[in-house]
Amino acid sequence: MKGILSIQSHVVYGHAGNSSAVFPLQRMGFEVWPLHTVQFSNHTQYKQGWTGTAFPATDLIDLVKGINNIDQLKNCEAVLTGYQGSADQCLAIIDTVKTVKQQNPNAIYICDPVMGDPEKGCIVADGISEYLINDVMPLADVIVPNQFELSQFVGMTINTLDDAVKACQHALTLGPKMVLVKHLHSLSSDKFSMMLATKDGCYLAQRPHLAFDNQPVGVGDLISSLFTGGLLKGWSAEQAFEHAHNACYAVLKETHRRGEWELQTIAAQDEIVAPTEIFPITEIK
């Protein structure tokens, strides 16, 4: 039984982290092995707060060791990581990726480098951003940063499309083979923009910007999972990128239609497999 090891946060209520990423991958036909870095009652943007805790990094190491003990890491096709609850968990991620690749050299590592961004109200523990930039992201085959996270990785300010292309190209020299920028917020106010960069070129995807009173959380986790699924289906990076873009929009559109804050992943599940609205990507010359 081949599977995807998804090491991310988990919320009991709603859709963020593994609660956003696991079902779309299952709906695309994959076995998923969810490993939670934290377990919270709900995502952290609720004004009422949240309850829960981060798990010790030793828990991650022990659980991966258990999977290895039953000789299943050889069947791990990909490691997908997102929100980390401590700097020590970053070290556990590095150890896990190396162990998986020892057992299956064809496995790929997709890193969604969730960093603290005060403007978004996203807070991570001390040391996490530094480990992500210096150790974790260079180890990844694919990184899925937002504009802020990409700028931190490459040490560049991004204000224009040309800046974004240069930042992605620089990121490709630091270890990753693919860069999917899950949100380029400085490009357009009326469109939502994403970018893909590989050795073959850079591609832009844009769709209508949906206005929410409260911006949904877990969108990046959804994008990362959809892109991972596309790659493991054997699609080209460009095909996987376009599908992730279109399927994510479908989920957001259903969420907007229902007037909800939490992603309506279940209600839009058929669109995850076959989106009905297509926004073709364009190559940036």
CATH of the domain at 140: 3.40.1190.20
**Taking the C-alpha atoms of 146, 142, 205 and 228 in order, what is their torsion angle to the nearest 10 degrees?**
-110
User: Which residue shows structure tokens 């943007």?
Assistant: 45
Strands 178-181 and 191-198: antiparallel
Rounded-to-integer distance, Cα 43 and Cα 217, Å: 7
pLDDT band at 120 (very low <50, low <70, confident <90, very high): low
The pTM for the full model equals 0.96
pLDDT value of residue 119: 60
Q: What is the pLDDT of residues 217-253, one digit of tens each?
A: 999 999 999 999 999 999 999 999 999 999 999 999 9
Q: Give mean pLDDT, residues 162-177.
A: 97
pLDDT band at 9 (very low <50, low <70, confident <90, very high): very high
Rounded-to-integer distance, Cα 230 and Cα 208, Å: 22
Rounded-to-integer distance, Cα 160 and Cα 212, Å: 25
Report the binding-site residues.
9, 44-45, 112, 144, 149, 182, 207-210, 221
Report the binding-site residues for ATP.
112, 144, 149, 182, 207-210
Bigger pLDDT: 45 vs 221: 221
Q: What is the pLDDT of residues 76-114, one digit of tens each?
A: 999 999 999 999 999 999 999 999 999 999 999 999 999
Domain that holds residue 108: 3-284
pLDDT greater than 80 at residue 134: yes
Domain count for the chain: 1
Report the binding-site residues for substrate.
9, 44-45, 221
One-letter amino acid at 221 equals: D
Residue 14: how many other CB atoms lie within 10 Å: 22
pLDDT greater than 70 at residue 118: no
- The pair phi, psi for residue 274, each rounded to 5°, is -140, 85
Q: Are 78 and 5 in contact (CB under 8 A)?
A: yes
